[in-house]
Chain A
């Protein structure tokens, strides 16, 4: 499952080689019986041929980024999409957990659309802070906000799972963390009312809803309130981006997971002077980028999550 397998002592040479070919793609999630589980890297997931519904998570494509940490963020996004297209079993849809673009420019959104649409999947987006910095703060909502509430939050049902896309990057206050705000939290409480507690719930947002590292702003100040509303549900999965690395924890019925970026890695909490882009050797870059795939199988208790590096 996820990263640990690839860096542990027992890693086979074949697995190492697999890892090296897939650094920067996404996380494959499988939802079995309610709790998402990471299936590991995509190639392993493919080998396992998960039954049930599978969806993909990609994150932090930062189209337009061209700094030393990855001068070609468009290229690695294309690699991720090619990887997805090569999957033998087509996922049902994709979620993008924000920072589609680097600077909210029209061309960046256009380029992102052009590349991501090549996966020919429905994509459910939430914005990252990089997607709402155009002068009039309208480009994200024009493109992805149709039918959403407030700053772009919404919910939908797929494969027996209730999905909720949340926005925690807007109207942030000085000295604070990510924020959902009262309006959105009230809407969330209402949205979940009347749902059977056996319905698996997936919450996705850009900044982690749990406190990963507040010194770097990696958390959501009112995230605990959102988690309060899903407390009674048997299976809750929280999918985030923003921190450009895989992190996972399980607390009771709640599984928290962050996906890799398709653009550039960021350091582990506290291991660098800042959370800025981490420059690594060219040969290593693709092992730190990736996608996630999630599989949900009715009747099982967990969603299975597979983090797949672009190369690795």
Chain B
């Protein structure tokens, strides 16, 4: 399988432990913290989260993708079903793209 999965599983566990903090506030419970890649598109392309929340990207294409936010974070290459998670610790707009297919872009707004 993809070696990336085990590491990201660990991150996912950490994320799951952090989740109740965010979920404690009612208005956050409906916020999706997942971004899926289907057909070379980040969905949702714009996601708003709170400081401290973790977003997980999952590649559902048959082609590898990456998630890169200049100077902030850079995923390893995610093959099919590969994931990448990042915890946002400061507010701001985090514009990111796929370094392999740079026409693929998205943004995470951290409040």
- Residues on A facing B (Cβ under 8 Å): 67-69, 102-104, 129-130, 133, 135, 172-177, 214-217, 273-277
Interface window among B10-18, B19-27, B47-55, B98-106: B98-106
A67 to B105, CA, bound (A): 25
* Contact A133–B64 (Cβ < 8 Å): yes
Question: Interface residue count for B (Cβ, 8 Å)?
Answer: 24
The residue in chain B whose Cβ has the minimal distance to the Cβ of A279 is B62
Q: Which of B61, B79, B80, B102 contacts A172 (CB 8 A)?
A: B102
The reply on B41 being an interface residue by CB < 8 A is yes
Given A103-B77, A276-B63, also A177-B102 (CB < 8 A): yes
* Contact B95–A274 (Cβ < 8 Å): no
The residue in chain A whose Cβ has the minimal distance to the Cβ of B62 is A67
The reply on B76 being an interface residue by CB < 8 A is yes
* Contact A102–B62 (Cβ < 8 Å): no
* Contact B68–A276 (Cβ < 8 Å): no
Which residues of chain B are near A133, meaning CB under 8 Å?
64, 66, 77, 100
* Contact B100–A175 (Cβ < 8 Å): no
A175 to B104, CA, bound (A): 7
* Contact A274–B41 (Cβ < 8 Å): yes
Which residues of chain A are near B105, meaning CB under 8 Å?
174-175
Given A69-B62, A174-B70, also A275-B40 (CB < 8 A): yes
The reply on B89 being an interface residue by CB < 8 A is no
The reply on B97 being an interface residue by CB < 8 A is yes
The residue in chain A whose Cβ has the minimal distance to the Cβ of B66 is A133
Which residues of chain B are near A217, meaning CB under 8 Å?
101-104
Which residues of chain A are near B80, meaning CB under 8 Å?
67
Given A67-B80, A135-B76, A276-B39, also A129-B100 (CB < 8 A): yes
- Chain B contact surface mostly: loop
Which residues of chain A are near B70, meaning CB under 8 Å?
174
* Contact B103–A68 (Cβ < 8 Å): no
Which residues of chain B are near A69, meaning CB under 8 Å?
62
The reply on B88 being an interface residue by CB < 8 A is no
| Least CB distance, B63 to chain A, in whole angstroms | 5
Of A135, A172, A214, A277, the most chain B CB neighbours within 10 A belong to A172
User: What 11 new A-B contacts, CB under 8 Å, besides A172-B100, A217-B103?
Assistant: A67-B62, A69-B62, A102-B64, A133-B66, A133-B100, A175-B97, A214-B103, A217-B101, A217-B104, A275-B40, A276-B62
Please, what's the 1-or-0 string for B70-111, where 1 marks a CB less than 8 Å from any CB in chain A? 100000110110000000000000011101111111000000
Closest 8 CB pairs of A and B: A174-B97, A274-B39, A217-B103, A67-B62, A172-B102, A274-B40, A133-B77, A273-B39
Of A174, A217, A273, A277, the most chain B CB neighbours within 10 A belong to A174
Q: Which of A129, A176, A273, A277 contacts B62 (CB 8 A)?
A: A277
A129 to B65, CA, bound (A): 10
| Least CB distance, A64 to chain B, in whole angstroms | 9
Given A103-B77, A273-B39, A274-B41, also A175-B103 (CB < 8 A): yes
Given A273-B39, A277-B63, also A174-B95 (CB < 8 A): yes
* Contact B68–A174 (Cβ < 8 Å): yes
A6 to B100, CA, bound (A): 33
